[in-house]
Amino acid sequence: MAYAPVVICRALGAGRFEVEISEPAALATTSEAEIPTSDDGGNNTIPTRGRILSQKCTLVSGSAASIDPILGEVANPAGTPDRVVAENATPAANVYNQAVPPIPYNAGGGGNKLFHRSVPDSAADNVARTVYQVLAGWE
């Protein structure tokens, strides 16, 4: 199965957004989902500037034992450390990171997108599901 992530952005109200990413056939190093942004966070996007409240990533199935998610303002965020927004500390099959305080991001320099990688530890048959909770603006 080819890697074809499904990214759904939902406005929850009061400046809060949820991003759900379903990844079939996630590869260890190259599978990357793009999260679209816009100034107002409308039409299946999140705001271009905001704060990450939490990152929850689950290895649903596959031969990998763990995942190690990373979110950045540019493609291949691990290759550009100063553009990493949220990076997991300890790989696991179920990862939940709550940002205290929330982590600011600015996707304007990355083509108005954020870039997510689940980074499973092996193979190409992995299915991962990730949910980000986002708050609009930096204030």
pLDDT digits (tens, 9 = 90+) for 30-56: 789 999 999 888 889 999 999 999 999
Domains of the chain in start order, with CATH, are: 6-136 (2.60.120)
Say what the pTM is: 0.93
Residue 1, C-beta contacts closer than 8 angstroms, at least 6 positions apart: 24, 25, 125
Structure tokens at 36: 């679209």
Residue 74 has pLDDT above 80, yes or no: yes
Alpha carbons 62 and 64: distance in angstroms, whole number = 6
pLDDT tens, 82-118?
889 999 999 999 999 999 999 999 998 667 899 999 9
Q: Which segment of 4-8, 24-28, 63-67, 86-90 scores lowest on mean pLDDT?
A: 24-28
Asked whether 86 and 97 are in contact (CB, 8 A), the reply is: yes
